[in-house]
Chains A and B, each alone.
Chain A
Amino acid sequence: MNILVCISQVPDTTTKVAVGTDGKTIEKTGVKFILNPYDEFTIEEGLRLREKFGGSVTALTVGGDTAKEILRTALAMGVDKAVFVKDDNREDSYSVAVNIAEVAKSMQPDVVVLGRQSIDYDSFAMASMVGELLDMPSISVVSKWNIEGNTVIAERDIEGGKEVVETTLPCVISAQKGLNDPRYPKLPDIMKAKSKPIEERTGVASSSRVQTFSMELPQSKRVGKILGDTDTDISELVRLLHEEAKVI
Chain B
Amino acid sequence: MSTIVVYLEQKGNELKRSSLEAITAALGVTGSTVIGLLVGGDAPSVQLAGEYGLKECAVANHDLLQAYSSTAVSATIAEFAKSVGATSVFFGATAAGKEISPRVSVKLNAGFVPDCVALEANSGSIVASRPVYAGKAKINMAVTTTVGVYSLRPNVFTARKVDNPTAVSVREFTPTLSAHDCRMKVTNVLRNEGKLDVSEADIIVSGGRGMKGAENFHLVESLGKVLGAAVGASRAVVDAGWRPHGEQVGQTGKTVSPNLYIACGISGAVQHLAGMSSSKVIVAINKDKDAPIFKVADYGIVGDVFDVLPKLTAKLTH
Contact = CB atoms under 8 A, between A and B. Distances in A.
Nearest to A222: B298
A13 B315 contact: no
B297 A226 contact: yes
Nearest to A157: B95
Interface stretch (B28-36, B57-65, B161-169, B193-201): B193-201
B138 A157 contact: no
A159 B94 contact: yes
A14 B131 CA distance: 16
A210 B133 CA distance: 18
B11 to A, nearest CB: 8
Contacts of A141: 95, 99
A220 B299 CA distance: 13
A2 interface: no
Interface string B95-109: 110111111011101
A34 interface: no
A128 B102 contact: yes
B283 A11 contact: no
B105 A226 contact: no
A132 B289 contact: no
Interface stretch (B42-50, B80-88, B214-222, B305-313): B305-313
B203 A247 contact: yes
For chain A, what secondary structure do more than half of its interface residues adopt (helix, strand, loop), or is it mixed? mixed
A129 B187 contact: no
Given A159-B95, A237-B301, A120 B133 contact: yes
B240 interface: no
Smallest CB-CB A-B distances: 8 pairs: A229-B303, A167-B184, A160-B197, A209-B111, A128-B102, A158-B95, A137-B184, A125-B102
Interface of A: 11, 13-17, 19, 24, 26, 37-38, 91-94, 97, 119-126, 128-129, 131-133, 137-141, 153, 155-168, 171, 177-178, 207-218, 220, 222-229, 231, 233-235, 237-238, 240-241, 245, 247-248
Given A210-B143, A217-B137, A224-B294, 6 more contacts: A132-B102, A138-B71, A163-B186, A218-B138, A223-B298, A224-B295
6 contacts: A141-B99, A161-B190, A220-B295, A226-B302, A229-B301, A248-B260
